[in-house]
Amino acid sequence: MADAASSHAPQPTGATGVLVLADGQVAWGRGFGAEGSAVGEVCFNTAMTGYQEVLTDPSYAGQIVTFTFPHIGNVGVNEEDLEAQVDGAVGCVVREDVTAPSNFRSQDTLGAWMASKGKIGLAGVDTRALTRRVRVDGAPNAVIAHSAAGTFDIPALLRQAREWPGLEGMDLARVVSRHAAQDWTGGAWHLGSGYEAADDAGKPHVVAIDYGAKDNIFRNLVRAGARVTVVPAQTSLEDVLALKPAGVFLSNGPGDPAATGEYAVPVIKGLLERDVPIFGICLGHQMLGLAAGAATTKMHQGHRGANHPVKRLADGMVEITSMNHGFAVDNAALPDTVEETHVSLFDGSNCGLAVKGKKAFGVQYHPEASPGPQDSFYLFEKFVGMLK
């Protein structure tokens, strides 16, 4: 990576894409996907599979994903593997050029699909160097840009990166959330037949609050034996209770949990006061923690990937988990009313909690992403089991 202000960093011949960091560093490469520019926080993801799910995860809103695995796009994309219909990541950075897809389920190339979704890609970058930059100095703000003609105004892109306020203090849940309540109808996926229809007869009713949810969460709740109604992030306590939930699920989502908590925490506190069972994932886990008196903090680099070991403190079991978060519940200052249930074996950060005396728990990771691949499905069964 070169410095934007350096006279020794000219645009290489054939460069049609660029990443400009707010600190002035520049990475040139070959653009793909949509043309234009987009600003966001640079992060890295260590998963070897699931790039389509990553790029359509609403939790990545406002972020530029650097994939550490070099071969991205080689199985194409399809409509069945979308995690949501709303915007997720603004773009991605990859090591190798995206090749033609080789998979019988592929319906389009990654580049064409990204262009249709307005997402910008950058190939040919030393992703190891960029990943080290994030690990050492933290996740930087940056602009990713693609121009087929290779025309870029680097000083303007640098100003854009420096003027972007960053994710801290930003509420993105209301941006990516559904705008109306929806009865969830999809079940498990089967090769050759797609997603099965949900059978709601006699099943406990879960109201899921959508802070930027991944659709596979709802499919796993159905698989565990629930019927699900999904409601927008800013749904009031009165409207949630009017649906007569047997339990409430708090979804994943992007942005600063403290900002989303301004409207989410009072609702969750009301549910806790009424002893409504609660299960939270990722941002939902953080919302539950805030409602129970804990605090959240911005992480240096965050956790993103499908290979994160987490220790379950009750019995020492280690789960291989999928993660995507740049904020965490501060486990150095948990109130007496909160029990820590899981910790990261990478850095000891909080990965699970339970509210004492309540049927309320959450995990920082994503059990619906099938890491392990089934290490964490028991959490859905545990929650639905509380409701029967």
Catalytic residues: 282, 366, 368
Kind and range of the H or E element at 187? strand 186-190
Cα(269)–Cα(59) distance, integer angstroms: 23
Q: How far apart are CA 383 and CA 120, in angstroms?
A: 38
Query: Which amino acid is located at 203 in the chain?
Result: K
Q: Of all helices (H) and strands (E), which one includes residue 279?
A: strand 278-281
Tokens of residue 205, six digits:
């009713």
* Contact status, residue 43 vs residue 304, Cβ threshold 8 Å: yes
Q: How far apart are CA 73 and CA 111, in angstroms?
A: 8
- Alpha-carbon distances of 171 from 7, 147, 208, 264, rounded to whole Å: 39, 30, 19, 11
8 Å CB contact between 144 and 114: no
| Residue 317: φ, ψ to 5° | -65, 140
Between the alpha carbon of residue 37 and those of residues 17, 93, 103, 238, 317, the distances in Å are 10, 13, 30, 42, 45
